[in-house]
Chains A and B, each alone.
Chain A
Amino acid sequence: MVNLVLKFVSCARAAGLRISTSEVLDCLNQLELVDILDEPQFAAVLRANFAKSRREQHHFDRLYHLFFHELRIDESIAHSEALAAQIQEALDNLPLESNGNQSSQAVLNFLKGDPLQFLEQLRQALSGRDGQGGGMGANLGAVVRRLELMLQINAFDNALLEFFNDQRGRMNWETRRDLGEHFNARLKSARRLLTQQPMGYDIGAEKLLSYKKHLDRLGEVHFASLTKKEVEEMREVIEQLVRKLKDRISRRFASRNRGILDVKKTLRRSAKYHGIPLEIIFRTRPPRKAKIVTLCDVSGSVWSAARFMLNMLYSLQECFTQVRSFVFVAGLDEVTQIFEDHEINQAIDKVLKEANIEYNAATDYGLTFRQFHNEYMDIINKKTTFIIIGDGRTNYSNPEEQILDEIRERSRRVIWLNPETQQFWYTGDSEMRTYQSCCQEVRPCQNLNQLLEFITTLVL
């Protein structure tokens, strides 16, 4: 019994399940407590100890079936013991040419009833860890490995056929029939394992891992060079990140406020009890929320960065007292209303079409600042964080940096996000050098990771 379970465990480990020694011990102890002749009970004990998550469960079930059903010699055949010996003999005498490489050994063992090597090879093939033939994004290595196993299985199939033909004269027809059936069943289950396996548990984990890598890579891609599909994926990422960020903010708030005694209120309350502070009041001061004003350049490449920032800002709206957003090319328009009335992604599309600005004009920062100064200066106060997203390319018109200076005077801080590659910042018609001196902070904002870093510092 112990040997059987241990054998199963080593097979399961070879197939990628993580089973610790203490789990094996637990399992063996528990098997003594149940009726192991009753299969559901036996299976339940093994499952409870070896497959400890949903993902592993399917994998476990398949292994269990393989090990305890498909690979057992059918007891119903009258002379099963004699058959076992025959099997051994048949396999030893197989007329096979290339007996030396790993895969053929694995298949041979599988036919003998020991799936360990086969499973191990299968796992390696599937996880593609061998790295052979695997280029960028290709799963060729895995295909090659599986093909090799498949070829081996076929080779064995042929070899067995040949063997039986040779033995026609020497072997009893009944034995031949039984042996044939036995080997056919084995080969069939080996093939099925090979073709079914991609659904397995390890793959799920690997896929998840590679997906995460993919997302990480996405974080480094310049906003302008994202494909449409990637933009969709980005949304998902942003949603996740926003959720995480919100969690962090709320937890931080909760823990920061825990245990701060509100002396004033406690004393006042204690008057009820002859000055004894029976009820203790803790302070819960709401976190300081910033007021945000964003100014987004919607011309060409800059917009791709701006849309992601707006997306995040509006998803995090409850972390701020107010978010007001303006878009500009030459002259600006407030689009806060659009964001308030529509779902975020719709709103972003709408902004690109319906804002009251000249989309085809040449970008004019000076004009934009003048207009802002004339119409909206009243919304800037000491709580306001003023964010500009733009490349600072003024098309050689007046940069009007004194207005930005004034805004800085009146607001809490001015932050400039530049989606342009940093080495081009100070070239041509870019006025970044002029504007830089008017801002508390200038950040490059070319990809998701940079944007995220910015948003995190903004809300935390």
Chain B
Amino acid sequence: MKFKNVEHVQTALEAAEYICSKTIATVVFLAQATQKPVLVEGPAGVGKTELSKAVARSLRRELIRLQCYEGLDETKALYEWEYAKQLLYTQMMKEKIDDVISGSNSLSDAVDRIADQEDAFFSERFIQPRPLLQAIESSQPVVLLIDEVDKSDPEFEAFLLEVLSDFQVSIPELGTHKARNIPFVFLTSNDSRDMSDALKRRCIHLYIDYPERELEMKIVLLKIPRINESLAEQVVDTIRKIRELELKKKPCISETLDWAQSLITLQVEDLSTEVVADTLNVICKYRADVEQVKQKIDKIMN
């Protein structure tokens, strides 16, 4: 399946339970049309990872996820030789090796004969593909999500650059693997450090901010169908006001949803000051933040 135009992206993602602005839809559409990776930035919890999942769902593609962390290296991201399996095979085939070298009359002859068989052990059979290789080798087109790429080391970023520009990987023992299908690549970043210009240049940049009021309303109503509209409105308005405060961590969409969900569980019909004060822990993740919101709660509720 393919997106036909920007509107189609919007409706398709909506069907996959992801409501997006036109900007997001345009970028997604362009990324598909130009086969470029998308670099998604934005505060935590605005749905960066969710976007790639939704795209995978709506395109009916498999999602391959690579979570980045400090110290991530090629053996974890690309491929690894399965040592134990190789060893097991050697053990089992000891007799076969005897067969191969039987009848050879000198040592160098025996070595030559074994050398002919060498490829057997560094072949596709013993390679363990990690996410990047999986995405490239897959016979079906996939969505590749490289999550929190800013957490990885700069060296890994450079390595990624090579993979993302040509969509090919060279394995010294086997040669170059070219992608059968160019995967739909998403990179997400939390701004913990700036990505290099080279990487940015190869990507289409998308910044997802906190959503507009209408959009957030739609998201709440879609994700939590049981909520009634007036409560949803109150929830969204309150959250938006809390976001305006100087908090350590501002509540994002996922917090809005969690909060709405917990209000429903508590069977709250109408948002009052007490209810907000009691359920603040769902919205604010720092004690200082909770205190601050509590102090200004009257202002927020009016």
Contact = CB atoms under 8 A, between A and B. Distances in A.
Interface of A: 18, 20, 22-23, 26, 29-30, 33-35, 38, 40-41, 43-45, 47-49, 51-54, 57, 247, 251, 254, 276-280
A168 to B, nearest CB: 48
Given A23-B201, A53-B205, 4 more contacts: A26-B36, A34-B30, A49-B204, A54-B207
B23 A44 contact: yes
Contacts of A51: 205, 207
Given A34-B29, A280-B83, A26 B34 contact: yes
Contacts of B84: 278-279
Nearest to A47: B23
A277 B26 contact: no
Contact of B205 (A33, A49, A276): A49
A44 B201 contact: no
Dominant secondary structure of chain B at its interface with chain A: helix
A43 B21 CA distance: 13
A61 to B, nearest CB: 11
Dominant secondary structure of chain A at its interface with chain B: helix
Given A33-B33, A33-B34, A34-B29, A54 B23 contact: no
A26 B204 CA distance: 9
A43 B26 CA distance: 10
Nearest to B194: A53
Contacts of B201: 20, 22-23, 52
Contacts of A33: 29-30, 33-34
A45 B30 contact: yes
B200 A53 contact: yes
Interface of B: 5-6, 21-23, 26-27, 29-30, 33-34, 36, 39, 41, 70-71, 83-84, 87-88, 91, 191, 194, 197, 200-201, 204-207
A48 B34 contact: no
Contacts of A49: 204-205
A277 B83 CA distance: 10
A20 B202 CA distance: 11
Nearest 8 pairs of A and B residues by beta carbon = A44-B26, A40-B22, A44-B23, A52-B205, A52-B200, A33-B33, A41-B26, A48-B204
Contacts of B36: 26
Contacts of B207: 51, 54, 57
Nearest to B205: A52
8 contacts: A30-B34, A33-B29, A38-B22, A40-B22, A44-B23, A48-B26, A54-B191, A278-B88
Given A44-B27, A45-B30, A48-B206, A34 B6 contact: yes
